[in-house]
Amino acid sequence: MTNKQVCEVCTENESKYKCPACLLKYCSLLCYKKHKEACKDTKDKTEQSKKSEEDTNVIHSDEQTEDRVSVEKLEELEHSVPLRQMLENPHLRTILQDLAKSKNPAKQMEKFMHEPLFLEFADECLQTVEPSEPDVEMDSD
């Protein structure tokens, strides 16, 4: 015995399709066209809401705090030759991918902080964005 789904647009026919955007069930092109406009409105509102949330996050991320690194400093990571060389290591790339996919990144980070390779990478990142003061020898002219 099959469980037939009714079209959620016309509520008369058996649904054969699902809207790719919202998964609403519909039976025909006509019903899809009727639904499409409403779905577009919903999608537009959702996108506007996400954009507003992103704008808020950007505002907050621009605030400088003791623990934040400026965007300019973060961009320096891209040009770091030592970091690029380190990222050639497949084991480090696997660690970073696991960290990026983790549902609990703080716990995963704690675990990886026991990996010498990850520690070296983290130290290099920190050195790139917050270089320590070099020991400067004074020239006596």
Q: How confident is the model at residue 88 (pLDDT cuts 50, 70, 90)?
A: very high
Q: Tell me the residue ranges of DSSP E strands in 5-88.
A: 17-18, 25-26
3-state SS assignment for residue 88: coil
Give me the domains of the chain, ranges plus CATH numbers: 1-47 (3.30.60), 71-129 (no CATH)
> Mean of the pLDDT values across residues 10-28?
86
pLDDT score recorded for residue 39: 77
pLDDT score recorded for residue 76: 86
The answer to whether residue 104 scores a pLDDT higher than 70 is yes
Most confident of 9-23, 28-42, 53-67, 86-100: 86-100
The answer to whether residue 89 scores a pLDDT higher than 90 is yes
Which comes out higher in pLDDT, residue 69 or 104? 104
Residues in the chain: 141
- pTM of the predicted model over 0.75: no
Which comes out higher in pLDDT, residue 32 or 4? 32
Work out the end-to-end distance of the chain between its first and last CA atoms, rounded to an integer number of angstroms: 96
Please state whether beta strands 17-18 and 25-26 pair in parallel, antiparallel, or not at all (unpaired): antiparallel
